[in-house]
Structure 1
């Protein structure tokens, strides 16, 4: 297939729609964080309860990411993406109807099921739509919407809507509406993998490996897949702890006002937006391995600086912006190009689902529960140690990642041939 005649029209249309889709995943998932002070008061929740709410969503997200990725490799992308988009939008609205801890946990767990199904399938859809030479940049662009809307604009939207709406309950229904509209656009634009150029490129690979039975054990035996799983757990122990607990830390420990808290917390989204696009795009040039090492190093430095920063809005915003740039950029790198390029033929969505699932179960599920326990028993100011340990471990394991960036591997192959 002639890559110079790539179908850029479909490529950019579907990347735009999937970017908006993953933006809504982030918005629906994280709009709850800046609303927590009001929700905790109305529903009489503790820090440990908050950890359970985030943990339930993370665990169901992780489990269904694993199985949905595998399922989409067999039945295609359309059914999973359109149905899950409608379902998690509905769950977002229903969050505003929760009357207590149990109902809120159940609703957020349902959201985790649907968003977990959407996540790896959308990454795989972007991977087959994108021209290989810009796959890292486009997968990063798609994932960057999660941070921008969920963690950047979300806190501002939530705190401003609270000023004009009767309560926090109506906020959830407002942010749910765009998901239903986007599902209609996906219905008319989204193609199945083998109807795309990227999917057709995989046909030869599938035929070449048709006699080889690939299973979960084969994925786990792939070193980069295993390292990506561990690495994603490490960086998510940073991202999801700060995203869930920092709003409460700023209001309850540093005594910032709700509006100042919203401004500071928005740095997670704006920094993450830049990082989720730039880090994978940069890895197209300097390599996936070096990008991962630098990402974890930057995360470790800035989580320490943020944990020891004074109650100054500009200082906190700046430190949180840079911390989020590195840590959310790592999520896009590990679950995007590294997982996709390391997958056995025909199992791109399965590999991404396994990586995202493992990272979500432990980093998005277990880590918030642990941080809630730490906050409840030892003080909310001590939650950052969990994130610091995770980022240090992640930096260490990144040294063992096998390089997969097309530009870097081609250079290596040419050098070997020349010798």
Structure 2
């Protein structure tokens, strides 16, 4: 495909909407974290209960990322994106109606089903809309909305709304409203894979998608396997921190709710920058070097954060840096590495497998473990779980095979173990 044939207009319209949509995924998922101290007091919940709520969403998200990534390769992206966006917005609103632990787990689990469907499908839609030489940057941009809305603006929105609405319950409905607007706009813009600019590119051929997915072939692809493990490592860091940090700041460091919201927002602002800049940097220095840098930076700043007292500016800056590297890794592993390593016609399936496995362990099991650690050994000790994850990730990164187009030129982008 020649440069002048590329549909840049569709590329930008689609990626802007997909970025906003994934931003709402983050907002609806993580608005729970800054509201958790209020919810705990109102519903008489424990740290372990909060870990279970976050873990339930992560488990269903992971399972349905794998399932729906496969299905979207077969039936297309548009229907899944629009329906899942409407559904998770509804479940966000109904979270405010929960009366106890069981109902919260049930509602948030349903949210995980819808967000799990949206996640790999939106990543694949972005890969098909983006021009190959800027695929890392575009996938990073799309994923950066998650951190910016969910963990940057979300804590500020939640803690400020608590000053003007009757309770935490109304906050959930307020943040659900934008999802219905974005789904309406997607109906008129998003195309199915066969109609996208990348449809003629050999690495994104549409025809094989009607065949049954060969999961063994995916698991034999070295970078897919390493991305699965690497995503678990980085999510056991940043997702554990994101879930537990508001309670650590309020209950252990004794910050006020609005001070807590300010510090927690650093996760989102750092993540926003990292999810865009780390994959963009990887377009130039390579995916492998960017992964090593990301895990090393995460390890350094989690150790720094563990040693800080209630110094708000230092807490903010160190969490900003930690989130930059950790969320940058999430975008790198689930975006360009998973897409470029996928067997022909299995882009969404590859992304779904990586996202799903990472969510099941890093987003599902790790928060449950961190809740148990907080409950029985003190919430200040959750950071050791995060540190262990990123140190393991440093080691795994050295085994990645390079896939960045600028680095490999005409080398085949699908290296396997055999």
TM-score w.r.t. length of structure 1: 0.96
Q: Which residue of 1 aligns with 2:312?
A: 313
Q: Is contact 1:202-1:346 (8 Å) kept?
A: no
Q: Which residue of 2 aligns with 1:280?
A: 279
SS in structure 2 of the partner of residue 309 of structure 1: coil
Displacement of 1:342 in angstroms is 0.1
Q: Confirm or deny that 1:197 pairs with 2:202.
A: no
Inter-partner Cα distance in structure 2 for 1:262 and 1:205: 45
Q: Which residue of 1 aligns with 2:101?
A: 101
Inter-partner Cα distance in structure 2 for 1:8 and 1:294: 31
Q: Confirm or deny that 1:382 pairs with 2:355.
A: no
What stretches of structure 2 of length at least 5 have no aligned partner? 413-418
Displacement of 1:273 in angstroms is 0.2
Inter-partner Cα distance in structure 2 for 1:71 and 1:203: 19
Displacement of 1:212 in angstroms is 9.2
CA offsets 1:279-327 (integer angstroms, 9 cap, x no match): 0000000000000000000000100100111210000000000000000
Inter-partner Cα distance in structure 2 for 1:251 and 1:161: 18
Q: Which residue of 2 aligns with 1:259?
A: 258
Q: Is contact 2:199-2:205 (8 Å) kept?
A: no
Q: Which residue of 1 aligns with 2:400?
A: 401
CA offsets 1:215-262 (integer angstroms, 9 cap, x no match): 111100000000000000000000111000011000100111111100
CA offsets 1:51-106 (integer angstroms, 9 cap, x no match): 00000000000000001000000000011000000000000000000000000000
CA offsets 1:16-41 (integer angstroms, 9 cap, x no match): 00000000000000001001111000
Inter-partner Cα distance in structure 2 for 1:205 and 1:114: 27
Displacement of 1:48 in angstroms is 0.3
Inter-partner Cα distance in structure 2 for 1:350 and 1:50: 31
What aligned pairs does 1:101-180 form with structure 2 within 5 A after superposition?
Answer: 101-180=101-180
Q: Which residue of 1 aligns with 2:223?
A: 224
What stretches of structure 1 of length at least 5 have no aligned partner? 414-419
Q: Judging changes above 3 Å, is the alpha-carbon distance between structure 1 residues 206 and 163 closer, same or farther for their aligned structure 2 residues? A: closer
CA offsets 1:125-154 (integer angstroms, 9 cap, x no match): 000000000000000000000000100000
TM-score w.r.t. length of structure 2: 0.96
Inter-partner Cα distance in structure 1 for 2:275 and 2:386: 19
Inter-partner Cα distance in structure 1 for 2:291 and 2:209: 33
Displacement of 1:364 in angstroms is 0.1
Displacement of 1:201 in angstroms is 1.9
Displacement of 1:213 in angstroms is 7.0
What aligned pairs does 1:241-252 form with structure 2 within 5 A after superposition?
Answer: 241-252=240-251
Q: Which residue of 1 aligns with 2:348?
A: 349
Inter-partner Cα distance in structure 1 for 2:203 and 2:234: 34
Inter-partner Cα distance in structure 2 for 1:157 and 1:265: 12
CA offsets 1:142-170 (integer angstroms, 9 cap, x no match): 00000001000000000000000000000
What aligned pairs does 1:8-47 form with structure 2 within 5 A after superposition?
Answer: 8-47=8-47
Q: Judging changes above 3 Å, is the alpha-carbon distance between structure 1 residues 258 and 10 closer, same or farther for their aligned structure 2 residues? A: same
SS in structure 1 of the partner of residue 344 of structure 2: coil
Inter-partner Cα distance in structure 2 for 1:129 and 1:239: 28
RMSD over aligned CA atoms reads 1.5
CA offsets 1:95-121 (integer angstroms, 9 cap, x no match): 000000000000000000000000000
Q: Which residue of 2 aligns with 1:417?
A: none
Q: Judging changes above 3 Å, is the alpha-carbon distance between structure 1 residues 213 and 52 closer, same or farther for their aligned structure 2 residues? A: closer
Inter-partner Cα distance in structure 2 for 1:337 and 1:159: 35
Q: Confirm or deny that 1:337 pairs with 2:328.
A: no
Q: Is contact 2:70-2:213 (8 Å) kept?
A: no
What aligned pairs does 1:174-189 form with structure 2 within 5 A after superposition?
Answer: 174-189=174-189
SS in structure 1 of the partner of residue 136 of structure 2: helix
Inter-partner Cα distance in structure 1 for 2:120 and 2:30: 19
Q: Is contact 1:159-1:258 (8 Å) kept?
A: yes
Inter-partner Cα distance in structure 1 for 2:71 and 2:387: 35
Displacement of 1:199 in angstroms is 2.1
Q: Is contact 2:74-2:210 (8 Å) kept?
A: no
CA offsets 1:183-219 (integer angstroms, 9 cap, x no match): 1100011100010121232488566x79997511110
